[in-house]
Amino acid sequence: MELSSKKKLHALSLAEKIQVLELLDESKMSQSEVARRFQVSQPQISRICKNKEKLLADWCSGTANRERKRKRESKYSGIDEALLCWYHIAQAKAWDVTGPMLLHKAKELADIMGQDFVPSIGWLVRWKRRNNVGFGARHVLAPPFPPEPPPPGLTSQAQPPLSLKDFSPEDVFGCAKVPLLYRAVPGRAVACDQVQVLLCANSRGTEKRRVLVGGLRSAPRCFFGVSSEALPASYYPDPGIPWSEWLAQFDQDMGQQGRQVALLLAAQVMEELEGLPGFHHVRLLPLSASSTTPSLPGSVVWAFKAHYRHRLLGKLTAVQSERDGTSLAEAGAGITVLDALHMVAAAWAKVPPQLILSSFIQEGLAPGKTPPSSDKDSEMPPVPSGLSQEEFSRFVDLEGEEPGPGVCKEEMGTDNEEGSRMDSFEPLPTKADALRALGTLRRWFECNGTSPELFEKFYDCEAEVERLCCL
């Protein structure tokens, strides 16, 4: 008597699972009837129904391999997603992406994320299979949202574009590229001292993205010995803003939070981004070239620059008080790109959420008939002593004027000159230096009548320095 063989397991592909879901939705067939049609068990149909949302998301993404029968999740999902974002950018730029190039980039991303990961050929094959990369004819990645023409312009400042209504105010972001003469002083501005600052916040003011600064050279001398992780703002070595890389990181961050957000962009920026694939979690909403509405309210940008200028003048005045006979221009020449990064981060942190919210409402970029009442004077820094309100306002908007000629002390010079000056770098501070500096600072506070609130902040700083010294 011949023994009956064990029933062979029949697994359905992603495309077949979608057919199962469509059949169950469009007909009155039971799960058992559908199971018989596809020659699988009823529990398998039941599992497909339970995973309906996940299966539909994979199908609509345009990147999943639709013939795969099982989805094996990667242990390194963060690296997996980051490499896929980079691959999208490379494809948009028509780069000839090879296997070794992908392995090298995966290792580079793992190092950036601090993960102990060495990609292998097998991992790369599975990554390509999961994301439908490099199989047969080139697969055109469909954007997660259908393309839409730019809006014809805002007919009224009180009426936002219709597409904004698809998002909650917390998920509507605006951003702006802000030119900044980072060490200008009243009456003196040098063109080569200008950096580009990228500001981004949501319309409620509850989220402000980390500031990005487009710099002047790849490695300013002031960065010697400084850990890139300790920088208070992101630094890009070339003038301008790396939009594709910044957007890819923004998209990845929103994906990790499981969000779909809108990002308002100026028409000129959209022209720079032409050819990029659609992002999965960030929808780009271009403003019309004829519209006067900015992608980030002008009052928010002005407040940021006002706080920056106020902090810069405070630092310069302190330098003058330390060195008798030093002019404001001489003190300004000593401001480095690293100083600017700290002041930029501090100024952006000072812009209050209430101002951002009211500004978005006034520009028609957030729902609300009237902006919430707020004390404008409390939202802006006080006018520095020695300047009138008009002089300070002119100083804040200094970038709108024609800067004068001059030499950039920190940024000018050839690589050979830089090499010959390596010996002139100050030695890096030691643990003993840090502890002595703490003692000096506390003594200075004690002798100058510092408030208890400031001492509480000092204690936090003291504890952190002592912790780092014990590492």
Annotate 93-127 with DSSP letters as a single string.
TT----HHHHHHHHHHHHHHHT------HHHHHHH
CA dihedral 325, 331, 334, 339 (to 10 degrees): 140
CA dihedral 202, 203, 204, 210 (to 10 degrees): 20
Token code pair at residue 373: 């009442």
- Measured CA to CA, the distance from residue 440 to residue 138 in angstroms comes to 65
Write down the pTM of the prediction. Answer: 0.59
Element (H, E) at 297: none
- Measured CA to CA, the distance from residue 253 to residue 260 in angstroms comes to 11
225: DSSP letter: T
Tell me the three state secondary structure of residue 215.
Answer: coil
Residue type, 293: T
One pLDDT digit (tens) per residue for the chain, 471 residues: 444 444 455 677 777 887 888 778 777 778 888 888 888 888 888 888 888 777 776 666 554 555 555 555 556 778 888 888 888 777 776 777 777 788 888 888 888 777 888 888 878 878 887 777 763 333 333 333 444 444 444 333 334 444 677 888 899 999 999 999 998 888 777 777 889 999 999 999 999 999 999 877 655 777 777 777 778 898 888 777 888 889 999 999 998 888 989 999 988 888 878 777 778 899 888 887 777 788 999 999 999 999 999 999 888 888 888 787 788 888 888 888 888 999 999 999 999 999 999 999 888 887 765 555 555 555 678 888 777 888 888 888 887 666 555 555 554 433 444 444 444 456 778 888 888 888 888 888 888 877 888 888 888 888 888 888 887
Q: What pLDDT score does 175 carry? A: 94
- Measured CA to CA, the distance from residue 168 to residue 293 in angstroms comes to 20
Give 213's strand partners.
Answer: 197, 235
Q: What pLDDT score does 143 carry? A: 38
Element (H, E) at 78: helix 77-92
- Measured CA to CA, the distance from residue 132 to residue 295 in angstroms comes to 35
- Measured CA to CA, the distance from residue 215 to residue 238 in angstroms comes to 5
Phi-psi region of 18 (alpha: psi -120 to 50; beta: other; left: phi over 0): alpha
- State the residue for tokens 């690589």: 415
Q: What pLDDT score does 467 carry? A: 85
Segment 368-372 long-range contacts (CB within 8 Å, at least 24 positions apart)? 369/158
Q: Are 216 and 411 contacting, i.e. CB atoms less than 8 angstroms apart?
A: yes
Token code pair at residue 241: 């803003």
Write the DSSP string, 164-199: GGGS-GGGEEEEEEEEEETT-BTTB-BGGGEEEEEE
| Helix runs in 334-451, H state only | 337-350, 353-362, 376-379, 389-396, 415-420, 431-447
How do beta strands 212-214 and 194-202 pair? antiparallel
Question: Do you know the residue count of the chain?
Answer: 471
Q: What pLDDT score does 219 carry? A: 59
Q: In whole angstroms, how large is the CA radius of gyration of the chain?
A: 28
Element (H, E) at 251: helix 243-256
